[in-house]
Structure 1
Amino acid sequence: MAKVLAINISKEKGQPKQAIGKGYFEVNCGLNGDAHAGDWHRQVSLLGTESIDKIRRMGFDNLETGSFAENITTEGIMLFELPVGTKLKVGETLLEVTQIGKECHLGCAIREKTGDCVMPREGIFAKVITPGWIKPEDEIERLN
């Protein structure tokens, strides 16, 4: 079963995010209060713990959820294998995958800390189709 491990938020872009108990995801916005929230195609970022584990195995044992600035840390789903347009039911929300990976920007605190950033290769981005709350342990269901 695919599930949510953590919901993570930050006030500034390019910084690791801090875990919160639950998050409200708004249409045309993303995670309420997050620095990346806005009316664009990368409203919500997701990264699997399986991807984070690849960097941990390089000797970075102190990485926590949110270390790669992902809003939702997942387990049990290979996110980067999902095609753009995939719809995911997560908690009360419906998300639509809009982008796989991204270009890492210069001065990224994550890359400076680890020497590598898995988000550009294996992170995904989505927009909010149906608003609602998401919390750790919520199931992730692929709808198409």
Structure 2
Amino acid sequence: MGKIISLNISREKGVNKEPVESIELQVDHGMVGDAHAGDWHRQVSLLAEESIDFMRAKGLELEPGAFAENITTEGLELAKLPLGTRLGNGQVVLEVTQIGKKCHHGCAIFKQVGDCIMPREGIFTKVIVPGTLRRGDSLDILP
């Protein structure tokens, strides 16, 4: 069973995501108000707090959202989920569409420590069932 630690949004591309208490998700769009939302396969990004802890162990002081993830989770091995896996909280349903991504040039974290976890362990999803998510909500793998 997983838990949402942080919900993070940026109104413009190229700026840090800011934590919010709740988000609204729409089908064929993703997170309402997020600059990276749209009708594509990478509507909502997720990264596990456990992955962020791995980078903290390298000496970085990092808050949830530092890797530009929309949802920071705890208790789910996100990178091990197969494509097509569905995650939900009793209302919202997300479907895993991509594991990892190519790291963009100039990533500040990679420059600092020579590594970045998002390209290996971040996942991307699309919205299947719309609704609201709140910080502290459960997020579970659906059958």
- When normalised by structure 2's length, the TM-score is 0.93
Unaligned runs of 5+ in 1: none
Check conservation: 2:43, 2:126, Cα contact below 8 A.
yes
Measure how far apart 1:91 and its partner are. Answer: 5.9
Give the match for residue 117 of structure 1.
Answer: 116
Give the match for residue 29 of structure 2.
Answer: 29
Check conservation: 1:91, 1:133, Cα contact below 8 A.
no
Measure how far apart 1:116 and its partner are. Answer: 2.7
Give the match for residue 87 of structure 2.
Answer: 88
Measure how far apart 1:4 and its partner are. Answer: 0.4
Q: Which amino acid aligns with 2:127?
A: V
**What is the total number of aligned residue pairs between the two structures?**
143
Measure how far apart 1:110 and its partner are. Answer: 4.4
C-alpha distance in 2 between matches for 1:110 and 1:30: 26
Check conservation: 1:50, 1:75, Cα contact below 8 A.
yes
- Cα RMSD between the aligned structures? 1.5
Measure how far apart 1:69 and its partner are. Answer: 0.1
Check conservation: 1:7, 1:20, Cα contact below 8 A.
yes
Check conservation: 2:24, 2:31, Cα contact below 8 A.
yes
Give the match for residue 101 of structure 1.
Answer: 100
Give the match for residue 4 of structure 2.
Answer: 4
Q: Moved runs in structure 1, 4+ residues, more than 6 A?
A: none
Check conservation: 1:85, 1:98, Cα contact below 8 A.
yes
Q: Measured at CA, do residues 66 and 85 of structure 1 come closer, stay the same or move farther in structure 2, by a change above 3 Å?
A: same
